Amino acid sequence: MTTHAATIDAPPQHMGLPLSNGKLAMWLFLATEIMFFSGLIGAYIVLRFGSPVWPRPHDMLVEEFLGAINTFFLICSSVSVVLAHAALLRRKIGLAVLYITITLALGGVFLLIKAHEYTHKWEHGIFPGGIFESPDLALKKAIADYRSSLSLADQKTDPDLAAATALAERFALQEFKSIQAQLEAYNKLGEDLAKRHGHDHDHAGHGHDAPGLHLPPVHPNGNLWASLYFTITGFHALHVVGGMVMFAIMLIRAGLGLFTIESVAFVEYAGLYWHFVDIVWIFLFPLIYLVG
């Protein structure tokens, strides 16, 4: 009888998962995100290490310093969102709002630096479809564009057009047996053109501001690199924007007086998402910025 009574009086046991529905939903969402970025990063690794020739970060205007600064800012933003969650648990609403503001600002700085990198590459023709992967095709395009800007008389006497045409004829005769020899000849032509116009020119593939023949960028597998770079970092930047939207909503609620201790779950879920965005970048930084 005693055993029966004890069984009846025992408190009901919780039969669900040891986490809230909201946290479960966030973890399931992050699982899909992990699969998404794993596919992108995996594709980059396979194509990068499976290609006999791959552009160096310096050739594609990838600045390691800017990537390191962005990594530092994202790590700091992960720390600030943790501090915001801790402050909210201690019912320090104002301090939590301050840390969320810092997190939002650091995310904004990350995007500004990334926008600068995109603009710099775009200005130098480093974007999908803007890079020639063989010197002969690039030279043909440069000659055609330059010839269309000259009169018939100038086409017969212009030294830039003559030099480019001569090199194009050598390419056509296949005197250059390797892509490396073609690149060396192509870059030599770019240096000669730059000297002729009185400009220093450290890399023919990046073009120059002098009047005359303009050589478009040439990088073997450059279009593949650009496609992977803008796709992977672009999707990551969109995820940063998504996190910033959540933090902006928190600040709006704080301005309306709706940001209270009851918002601790919202901050926790947003923090989980933000940590994931940070971890993805920690993988992208060495792959894109450091591995040459």
Walk along the chain (292 residues) and give the pLDDT tens digit of each residue: 455 555 555 555 555 567 788 888 999 999 999 999 999 999 999 998 888 888 888 888 899 999 999 999 999 999 999 999 999 999 999 999 999 999 999 999 999 999 999 999 998 888 888 888 778 778 888 888 777 777 766 666 777 788 888 888 777 777 777 777 888 888 788 777 777 766 544 444 444 444 567 777 788 888 899 999 999 999 999 999 999 999 999 999 999 988 888 889 999 999 999 999 999 999 999 999 988 6
The tokens describing 197, both together, are 């116009």
pTM of the model: 0.78
Nearest residue to 65 via CA among 104, 120, 131, 122: 120
**pLDDT of 11:** 58
Find how far residue 53's CA is from the centre of its chain. 21
**pLDDT of 254:** 92
The tokens describing 186, both together, are 């192509």
In the DSSP assignment, the letter for residue 11 is P
- Separation between Cα atoms, residue 261 and residue 108, nearest integer Å: 26
**pLDDT of 130:** 81
| Share above pLDDT 70 across residues of the chain, in percent, rounded to a whole number | 86
In the DSSP assignment, the letter for residue 175 is -
- Separation between Cα atoms, residue 162 and residue 165, nearest integer Å: 5
84-96 burial, b at 16+ Cβ within 10 Å, e below that, comes to bbebbeeeebeeb
State the Cα angle at 181 between 219 and 164, rounded to 5°: 80
Strand blocks (E) in the chain: none
**pLDDT of 96:** 95
Asked if residues 88 and 264 have their Cβ atoms less than 8 Å apart, the reply is yes
The tokens describing 124, both together, are 């130098």
**pLDDT of 207:** 42
**pLDDT of 201:** 44
Domain boundaries for CATH 1.20.120.80 within the chain: 21-128+223-290
Asked if residues 107 and 247 have their Cβ atoms less than 8 Å apart, the reply is yes
Residue range 21-128+223-290, CATH number: 1.20.120.80
**pLDDT of 134:** 79
**pLDDT of 202:** 45
